[in-house]
Amino acid sequence: MRFQRYFTVSSGAPTVKIISPNGGETLQVGKTYDIKWTSSGVTSDKLILELGSATFYRKQIAEVSTSAGVYSWTVTSDFYISPNEKNRVRVVCYNCPIFLQDNSDNYFSIVEP
């Protein structure tokens, strides 16, 4: 009797990466912007997009499909804190076997219309 064994070859550790907004942008309350990310080797089908500041992440933007790669975000007034606030987007995989996250490389602004 002959047994066959199947295996997969992995190209490395799973990753997620924010593409945009990635720093320097000015987003206006009431307008829609694309949040873009890439993922590789992620076993979960869901990611969380969060908005944060220089010191902490304060608000969930959306729960998204890992493979989507883009989410059209309408910036509402509850995301606006002050004109001087330093903002970043973070993509997070809480359901992955290892915690995965990536932040915008630099800060962007959210302004009132």
Residue 54 sits in a domain whose CATH number is 2.60.40.10
User: Could you list the residue range(s) of the whole structural domain that residue 89 is in?
Assistant: 15-111
% of the chain surpassing 70 pLDDT: 88
**Sites in the chain below the pLDDT cut of 50:** 7
Tell me whether residue 6 is in a domain. Answer: no
Structurally, how many domains does the chain consist of? 1
Model pTM? 0.84
User: Which residues have C-beta within 8 Å of that of residue 104, sequence separation ≥ 6?
Assistant: 18, 21, 22, 23, 87, 88, 89, 90
Asked whether the beta carbons of 45 and 65 are under 8 A apart, the reply is yes
Kindly report, residue by residue over 56-86, the tens digit of the pLDDT. 777 999 999 999 999 999 999 988 888 788 8
Tell me whether residue 1 is in a domain. Answer: no
